[in-house]
């Protein structure tokens, strides 16, 4: 993925979300030099992967991708230091942009459409060898229990939210630009994603221009904490 695509995605996210009356914490607009000057008292930002996350899953960002901002998160590996058992994210899906089929081994999540277009989601249970199971998928949408057939479609309009359990495959595509919020148990995007078709979760970045902002996978190259 090109750095220019990441810069453009984050600039667009800031404009789109602020235009809807939602503000970000200060570290959302930090520049690389701000991250280089991070102090020990700010280590949680790095340890818990807070901040921006932009990925094309190894494909074309316009067609397959997502822009994420993580506001808060716990840490499976340092629960004594970070006992927080939950995470909160903003997710932006462009019109026609797809998120590939995946599930999480550990994370339970609520995906809430907070404005814009409609989110079109398809779901499966995971089965033998972590493939698609031919069984009904049991879900909860805004407190109402529903069942959909394997591969069935769920449409989330603005204001609606869905609960996804560990092991439930899901993909989605935006019909119009969609602003989502995710409220979940502790999240680890380096270890807790099982993609059906083996997509790359954290992209290799082609540095075609200097970074305006950092994504969490950049921190190891900029932050000087020991």
- Report the C-alpha gap between 7 and 30 in whole angstroms: 13
Element (H, E) at 87: strand 86-93
- Cβ count near 132 (within 10 Å): 16
HSE-up of residue 92 (Cα within 13 Å, Cβ side): 24
Are residues 154 and 123 in contact, defined by beta-carbon separation less than 8 angstroms? yes
pTM of the model: 0.96
The 10s digit of each residue's pLDDT in 48-103 is 999 999 999 999 999 999 999 999 999 999 999 999 999 999 999 999 999 999 99
CA distances from 13 to 29, 45, 94, 179, 198 (A): 11, 20, 10, 9, 27
Triad 195, 165, 25: Cα angle to 5°? 80
pLDDT at 203: 86
The 10s digit of each residue's pLDDT in 7-60 is 999 999 999 999 999 999 999 999 999 999 999 999 999 999 999 999 999 999
Could you tell me where the beta strands, DSSP code E, fall in 11-72?
51-55, 66-72
- Report the C-alpha gap between 65 and 136 in whole angstroms: 27
Q: Of 34, 53, 87, which is closest to residue 202 (Cα–Cα)?
A: 53
CATH code for the domain of 68: 2.60.120.10
The 10s digit of each residue's pLDDT in 172-189 is 999 999 999 999 999 998
Q: In DSSP terms, which residues pair with 146 in a beta bridge?
A: 139
Range of the domain at 167: 3-201+210-222
Q: How many domains does the chain have?
A: 1
Kindly tell me if the per-residue pLDDT of 214 is higher than 90: yes
């Amino acid at each position: 993925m090109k750095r220019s695509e990441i810069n453009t995605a984050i600039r667009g996210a800031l404009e789109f979300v602020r235009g809807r009356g939602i503000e970000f914490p200060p570290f959302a607009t930090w520049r690389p030099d701000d991250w280089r000057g991070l102090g020990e008292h700010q280590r949680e930002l790095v340890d818990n992967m807070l901040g921006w996350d932009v990925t094309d899953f190894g494909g074309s960002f316009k067609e397959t991708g997502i822009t994420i901002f993580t506001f808060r998160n716990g840490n499976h590996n340092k629960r004594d230091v970070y006992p927080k058992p939950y995470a909160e994210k903003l997710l932006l899906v462009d019109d026609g942009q797809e998120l590939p089929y995946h599930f999480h081994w550990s994370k339970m999540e609520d995906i809430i459409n907070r404005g814009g277009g409609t989110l079109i989601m398809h779901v499966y249970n995971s089965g033998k060898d972590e493939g698609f199971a031919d069984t009904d998928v049991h879900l909860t949408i805004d407190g109402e229990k529903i069942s959909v057939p394997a591969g069935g479609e769920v449409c989330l309009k603005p204001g609606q939210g869905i609960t996804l359990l560990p092991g439930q495959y899901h993909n989605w595509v935006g019909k119009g630009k969609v602003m989502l919020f995710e409220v979940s148990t502790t999240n680890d995007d380096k270890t807790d994603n099982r993609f059906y078709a083996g997509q790359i979760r954290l992209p290799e970045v082609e540095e075609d221009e200097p970074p305006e902002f950092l994504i969490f996978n950049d921190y190891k190259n900029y932050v000087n904490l020991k």
